[in-house]
Amino acid sequence: MKKLLPTLVIICSILSCQDEISNEIKEQYNSNQQQNGSIIEGRLFFKSEEDFREYHSNLDSKEIDQISNEMETKLYSKNFISLVPYISEHSTPSVVEKISKSYSNSIPEDDILEHFDDLEDILGDDLFASLLNSNSEIQIGDDIYKYTDQGLFIVNKDKYNNLEKFILNYDVHSLNDVQNIQKFKNRLDYNPSGGLVQLEDGISHYINYSDDNFEENSKDSKNHKISNRNNFDLESIANNLAECNLKSPFLGNLFGTTKVCINRYQRRRRVKLKYYNVDLKLVYAIGIKVKNQRRHVLWFNERAEKIVLGINSITWGFHHKSDFSKIRNLRLSGVATYFVNNISTSNNPYHVSGRQIFKDNGFGQITHVSPYYSPKLPFEKKLKLDAVVEFALDNRLIKNEEDARFAFYKFAYGKVEGLLNQLGNDRLKRVGVVMITPDDYWVQFYDFSNSCNSCRRLEHVFDWGIMTPTFTYNFGAGSGSQDINIKSFSGDLKKSNVLGISAFGMIKNSNNWHGNKFNLGIKK
């Protein structure tokens, strides 16, 4: 018996060590499983929203072929299936075949293809749609985000079975459910006011109801300006493009506003122009893009000889009263300030370089004010604006995007272009505008130069992030405008009272141009 006791102690010690080693291996395995971008139970996993945003940003900065290759090697090769696949003409046949097999054989190929198109439009961002799995889900920390035809459900992973019961009771469908997905007509009983609400322990629901009244502007815009000394022929081509018949996705504007127009120029080729402003709760995205696409099982982006995306204006309008008594006392119709970026040389009448502020005194005389330090608009740095024009206009007749665009071209365009010429800069390419009238503020963006050669798409992303796209605009050089009694105002690009867009997208292949233009006005 005395000999047996030491033997038992040794055996227990060995077993204890084995248990410790086993636990260490298990902990290491779980740690490896829960790395950002890892696949857990068929879903992509990220530790936090910020980690997801960083992952998306890094991937989105790459070329299309690089993104599709990374999706294939790091995700599709590990049996991850995207809600909307991210592929190019270089994707291997096995990837396309795997995607096709994930749907029932009873669903016609054309229905699946149209469904992918709708999903990409509903979600706005192509890459985001591809990072959701085939059940339209992604995991952030302990929460699973599930996108459905009734909005977004956020559920703790331990409560997922309860969500499945809820979905069944309320006839909710994942976005991949081609045959059963449907558009709801009335506000949801379980979330009638919208926003983020808790349904039960561990389950929340989010939807942003939209009461937008969409009005396609009836007047055709002839202000298709392209700022390139050798491209006046492109301006003429843009003016002669057909006006687009805008459409919304099948599910409408479930997560925000999406407007699409398509120019089918061959049986398997098309130009797709799209504006999107979507709030997916996890992220929001605001942008406009044009793509040249070819159909091979799925629509994918194909290289074109040239792509041009012209934004005559995108306008956000905010209702706000302003005191114009000082301007009226001076008998001025308006005053303007010009914030110019990147003056390349001081060999100019003002002997300045870098970022500088200039002011128009209302009588056509422009004077230099001071250096210019911080960006004025939320998209200024991202879109590399040549200048920001701030002007106060005593005019109560500006009510929509078309009026605001007309005012810019009439009162500011020639002056800011002339100023840039004086400063030795190239012709005006991209400009931001802040216009103050007695009743409203208007924030605008113009692009006269966005083109590329031998490319597949062009896109302007005005904002993409986790938080609400709010901003505070400071008038003048930071101390407020001396001409009107305003120092600053706050706005939200997703909640403007008026949204207006005048844009065109076109591609060149085999010496032929294809594309569309559209004018869109949204009143809220």
- What number is the average pLDDT over the span 404-422? 87
Residues 368 and 360: their CA atoms lie apart, in Å, by: 9
Residue with the bigger pLDDT between 431 and 219: it is: 431
Residues 60-100: pLDDT tens digits?
888 888 898 899 889 988 989 888 888 776 666 666 666 66
76 in a structural domain: yes
With pLDDT > 70 as the criterion, what percentage of the chain qualifies?
Answer: 77
- What pLDDT is attached to residue 280? 85
- Tokens encoding 215: 């009005």
Residues 152-199: pLDDT tens digits?
999 999 999 999 999 999 999 998 887 788 887 788 999 998 889 999
- What number is the average pLDDT over the span 196-207? 94
- What number is the average pLDDT over the span 245-266? 83
Residues 416 and 171: their CA atoms lie apart, in Å, by: 56
463 in a structural domain: yes
- What pLDDT is attached to residue 25? 46
Residues 94 and 73: their CA atoms lie apart, in Å, by: 12
Clarify whether residues 332 and 186 are in a common domain: no
DSSP letters along 266-333, please?
A: ETTEEEEEEEEEEE-SS-EEEEEEEEEEEEESEEEE--EEEEEEEEEEEEEEEE-----HHHHHTT-S
- What pLDDT is attached to residue 198? 96
201 in a structural domain: yes
- What pLDDT is attached to residue 41? 95
> From the CB of residue 43, how many other CB atoms can be counted at a distance below 10 Å?
22
Residues 115 and 106: their CA atoms lie apart, in Å, by: 15
- Tokens encoding 165: 């019961």
- Tokens encoding 113: 């293809």
Q: Which amino acid is at 398?
A: I
Domain final residue, candidates 183, 207, 231: 207
pLDDT above 80 for 373: no
- What number is the average pLDDT over the span 243-262? 82
Clarify whether residues 334 and 451 are in a common domain: yes
Mean pLDDT (the chain) is 80
- What number is the average pLDDT over the span 232-240? 72
**Which of 293-297, 374-378, 468-472 bottoms out in mean pLDDT, i.e. has the lowest?**
468-472
- Tokens encoding 329: 């006392």
Q: Are strands 203-207 and 151-156 parallel, antiparallel or unpaired?
A: antiparallel
- Which residues, in sequence order, are CB contacts of 431 under 8 Å at separation 6+? 385, 386, 387, 388, 389, 416, 445, 446
> From the CB of residue 496, how many other CB atoms can be counted at a distance below 10 Å?
20
- Ranked by mean pLDDT, the top range of 152-156, 436-440, 459-463, 508-512 is 152-156
Residues 134 and 99: their CA atoms lie apart, in Å, by: 9
- What pLDDT is attached to residue 104? 56
6 in a structural domain: no
**Which of 29-38, 386-395, 412-421 bottoms out in mean pLDDT, i.e. has the lowest?**
29-38
Quick check: pTM over 0.95? no
Find tokens 């096709």 and name the residue. 100
- What pLDDT is attached to residue 19? 56
- What number is the average pLDDT over the span 204-220? 61
- What pLDDT is attached to residue 94? 67
253 in a structural domain: no
Domain final residue, candidates 207, 228, 243: 207
- Tokens encoding 517: 């233009």
Q: How far is CA 431 from CA 45, 178, 339, 386, 410, in A?
A: 39, 43, 10, 6, 15
119 in a structural domain: yes
Whether 368 and 477 have beta carbons less than 8 Å apart is answered as: no
By C-alpha distance, which of 49, 113, 123, 110 is closest to 87?
113
Mapped onto helix, strand or coil, the DSSP state of residue 176 is: coil
Range of the domain at 354: 312-521
Q: How confident is the model at residue 478 (pLDDT cuts 50, 70, 90)?
A: very low
**Which of 65-74, 83-92, 410-419, 464-473 bottoms out in mean pLDDT, i.e. has the lowest?**
464-473
- What pLDDT is attached to residue 345? 84
Clarify whether residues 327 and 200 are in a common domain: no
- What pLDDT is attached to residue 18? 57
Clarify whether residues 45 and 172 are in a common domain: yes
Find tokens 């909640």 and name the residue. 495
Residues 21-68: pLDDT tens digits?
555 544 444 545 579 999 999 999 999 988 998 898 889 888 888 898
pLDDT above 90 for 202: yes
Residue with the bigger pLDDT between 64 and 469: it is: 64
Clarify whether residues 191 and 321 are in a common domain: no
Residue with the bigger pLDDT between 189 and 19: it is: 189
Backbone angles phi, psi at 106, to 5 degrees: -80, -10
Residues 477, 479, 482, 488: is their CA dihedral positive or negative? positive
Clarify whether residues 319 and 202 are in a common domain: no
- What pLDDT is attached to residue 363? 67
- What pLDDT is attached to residue 467? 46
Clarify whether residues 317 and 200 are in a common domain: no
Residue with the bigger pLDDT between 2 and 520: it is: 520
- What number is the average pLDDT over the span 469-497? 69
Residues 100-147: pLDDT tens digits?
666 655 566 666 667 777 777 788 788 888 999 989 999 999 999 999
- Output DSSP code: residue 412: I
Clarify whether residues 55 and 176 are in a common domain: yes
Residue with the bigger pLDDT between 165 and 485: it is: 165
280 in a structural domain: no
Clarify whether residues 180 and 328 are in a common domain: no
61 in a structural domain: yes
List residues bridging with 147 in a β-sheet. 152
Whether 459 and 447 have beta carbons less than 8 Å apart is answered as: no
Domain final residue, candidates 178, 207, 236: 207
Half-sphere exposure of 56 (CA within 13 A, CB side): 25
Q: How many domains does the chain have?
A: 2
Whether 144 and 154 have beta carbons less than 8 Å apart is answered as: yes
Q: How confident is the model at residue 17 (pLDDT cuts 50, 70, 90)?
A: low
Clarify whether residues 188 and 321 are in a common domain: no
Whether 119 and 255 have beta carbons less than 8 Å apart is answered as: no
